[in-house]
Amino acid sequence: MRNSITAFVFIIFCLLPIKYVVSSEIGGEIFQDNCSGCHTIGKGNSVGPDLSGVTIRREENWLIRQIKDPDGLVEEKDPIALQLLKEFNMPMVALGLSDEEIKEIILYLKNIDNNISQESTSSTALSSRYILTIIISILMIIFITLLALKVGKKNVDIK
């Protein structure tokens, strides 16, 4: 019974990063289908602003509003939305995306921004994106060692 619980916990730890990766890929697909016509990431301004670092510069709630209801922000005279309108001389179009799709896009952009900010830090520092991998590896080594000790336990008479 104890080994079953240990195996279950081990499997859960291994599967946790998969949701994040899959979600980021979904966000990338949604971005390509809906946003890449006007926005780039790290390639300079296009019809709209380059979105590299946008999740660092802007609050998540503002990003959600900007994607979901850009006209509403302009009507409310949001200073950032007005500055973008002035700079690009074109309002952002409301794409009719669901709340889940918007969250996926923001997760995708956060993932890119995290990678950019980690690359700019010292290369000698251990990146936080590897911490989960290290923890899973250590747990796997412990699990396999305990399993091997249990299976390998034999009574041997030395005469």
Q: What does the pLDDT look like over 137-146, one tens digit per residue?
A: 899 999 888 8
**Exposure string over 38-74, b if 16+ CB within 10 A, otherwise e:** bbbbeeeeeebbebbebbeeeeeeebebbbbebeebb
pLDDT (0 to 100) of residue 102: 93
pLDDT (0 to 100) of residue 21: 47
pLDDT (0 to 100) of residue 147: 81
Domain map of the chain by residue range? 22-123
Non-local (6+) Cβ contacts of 50 within 8 A are: 39, 40, 41, 42, 43, 44
- 22-123: CATH architecture: Orthogonal Bundle (1.10)
pLDDT (0 to 100) of residue 30: 92
Tokens of 63: 């990003």
- Sites in the chain below the pLDDT cut of 50: 18-21, 122-124
Q: For residue range 47-69, list pLDDT tens digits in order.
A: 999 999 999 999 999 999 999 99
pLDDT (0 to 100) of residue 23: 54
Query: Could you tell me the pTM of the whole model?
Result: 0.60
pLDDT (0 to 100) of residue 75: 95
